[in-house]
Structure 1
Amino acid sequence: MPWPCSARLLQEVFGIERIALVYGWSMGGMQAYHWGACHADMAGRIAVVCGSARCSPFNQVFLEGVRAALTADPAFRDGHFAAPPRAGYRAMGRVYAGWALSHAFYRDELWRAAGFESLEAFLAGTWDSNFARRDANDLLAQLWTWQHGDISRCDAFGGDLDRSLAAIRADVLLMPGRTDAYFQAQDNAAELPRLTGARTAALRPIPSDYGHRAGNPHNIPADRAFLRETIAAFLAA
């Protein structure tokens, strides 16, 4: 069962038996789902932002492309990186750039709002170095964890996704990005009617052209405001 130590930490060290809101974006959204399913008595509310209950096959294909770009670097030998993969970081960034943001983002040149004068300047200034500050072997572990994200893999559910979703008793708010390419809104829409044990369950897509980044809206005021207002209403309900 994922994250049992986190629950024990809250209970045994901090004396916290109930969490008002478990909030997570992206892989954090998958973790929020885990809290709701695996620690149903602790989570009062869960907010899944640009996440899903399991990594979809389409999402896994995207991640395979990212992995292939990174591991094509000659620094990848015998299953791990012996040195920082400079070319691999850049290749991974260029692949990721097309998925993290949307068709509309590039069509309407929304990168200009960040001060870039050309598409190439945006890619070079943002994505070419985006992953270079991270350890490449840690990135591989993160990709593996992401691909295997699935709340039904917990021992209590035996791979039954319907059973794991029905185990959630919290109030549930699903906030996919309307233009998110890999955690797609249609996946959350399919999960919604299967949350049969939840006190309440709602789907509130983020009306944004920033793709997956809408759920972590650094320097995107409209998306940040939408998230804050929606979460405030969720907590107040």
Structure 2
Amino acid sequence: MTAPEIFDLGPLVLQSGMTLPSAHLAYRTYGTLNAARSNAILYPTSYGAQHSDIDWLIGPGRVLDPEHWFIVIPNQFGNGLSTSPSNLPMPYADGRAPRFTHWDNVHAQRRLLSEAFGIEHLALIYGWSMGGQQALHWGALFPDRVAAICAVCTSARTSPHNKLFLEGLRATLTADAAYQDGRFVEKPLRGLRAFARIYAGWAVSQTFYREESWRGVGYASMEDWLVRGWEGNFLRREGEDLLSMLDTWTVSDISANPVFEGDLDAALGAIRARTLVMPCTTDLYFQVADNAIEVPKMPNAELRPIVSDWGHRAGNPQLSPPDEAVLRDAVAELLAG
């Protein structure tokens, strides 16, 4: 993994009311910022991901082209690189980490862009899953600073069913014997492996498994897919960081802040950027039907589902070139507009 740059936020007051004496954002940039600072794209991270996990789609001919655009990936709070439970000092270590929200993420990102690069306006925010949640937060909270949004397999407010899925993951991880008195005393290997297998069952569709589509992307068996493709992914992460990001995902709501005071319609109506909301037709987390309720309340948005058997992973289609082509065309359309 290429080491990230670090932006020092100094003392940081969180939405929860807690104050961190010192906080930071880890980030990477790709491409060159033009003299007018008008070619910036923000690409926030998704659940469990760090910048090196999602930057595969940056490159000539890929979804985000660094030959024309200056792309910034800020690692979200809790992902192990930016300020996270795993790197917080006392008194916040050992189960005392505060909750991070997307309000915290996007306000820190705004400071990064402004103070480190002089960027006050974004040509595009591209986000998948939790990255898409951050994109929609940006659109609602900073409507004059965003020209276009591509929000993929995501939601403006986490749905009740999605919260239930997240509670199942939390219960699985904290059932490990390594979780004691509200903290992990060692790496929860059994919990992480079980967590990964549950995640694998939800992240792609029933059709994907019925057709044994894992065979076409380099896996010899279902067990190979689960161990290499899923257990190996989550075993890289710390349990406390995964729980922290579950918290952020669970409470994600673009209206849950002092600006909108819980009025989701008002928050959706504040998003003036040209926006494509792109759920997958087989996503088990974020349904097309949920987005179909949200999009009509956004003044300049279009609902454009991705037809794919890859479920939620259609929004991160490293192994699915047809889905990547759909996203590349959508981004090109937004940037041309």
Normalising by structure 1, report the TM-score: 0.95
- The correspondence for 2:259, drawn from 148, 156, 173, is 156
- The alpha carbon displacement at 1:11 in A equals 2.3
**Unaligned 5+ residue runs, structure 1?**
none
2:147 is matched with which residue?
Answer: 44
- 1:6-45 aligned within 5 A: 6-45=109-148
Higher relative contact order (CA 8 A, sep 6+): 1
Is the aligned partner of 1:165 residue 2:265?
A: no
Is 1:134 aligned to 2:237, yes or no?
yes
* Counterpart Cα distance in 1 of 2:262 and 2:135: 18
SS of match in other structure, 1:151: coil
State the shift of 1:100 in Å: 0.4
Query: For 1:75-115, what per-residue CA distance to the aligned partner results, in whole angstroms no more than 9, with x for missing partners?
Result: 00111111100100110011111100101100111000122
**Helix, strand or coil for the counterpart of 1:32?**
helix
Which of the numbers 302, 309, 330 marks the counterpart of 1:209?
309
Return the alpha-carbon distance in structure 2 between the equivalents of residues 98 and 173 of structure 1: 27
- Output the amino acid matched with 1:77: Q
In the TM superposition, structure 1's runs of 4+ consecutive aligned residues that sit over 4 Å from their partners are none
In the alignment, is the contact (CA less than 8 A) between 1:89 and 1:129 conserved in 2?
no
Aligned residues: 234
The residue number in structure 2 matching 1:120 is: 223
Partner of 2:335: 235
Q: Deviations over 1:26-65 (max 9, x none)?
A: 0000000000000011011111111110110000000111
For structure 2, the 5+ residue unaligned runs are 1-102
In terms of fraction of residues, the more strand-rich structure is: 2
Q: Which structure's residues are more often helix, by fraction?
A: 1
Shift of 1:167: 1.0
Q: Secondary structure at the match of 1:182?
A: coil
| More divergent stretch after superposition (110-119 vs 158-167) | 110-119
- Contact kept, 8 Å, 1:177 with 1:208, in 2: the verdict is yes
2:165 paired residue among 58, 62, 68:
62
Tell me, in whole angstroms, the C-alpha distance in 2 between the residues paired with 1:194 and 1:18. 23
Kindly provide the amino acid, as one letter, of the partner of residue 251 in structure 2: H
Aligned: 1:146 with 2:249: yes
SS at the partner of 1:144?
A: helix
Provide, for residues 187-220 of structure 1, a one-character-per-residue CA deviation record: whole Å limited to 9, x for no partner: 111101111xx3x211111111001111011121
1:225 to 325, 331, 336: 325
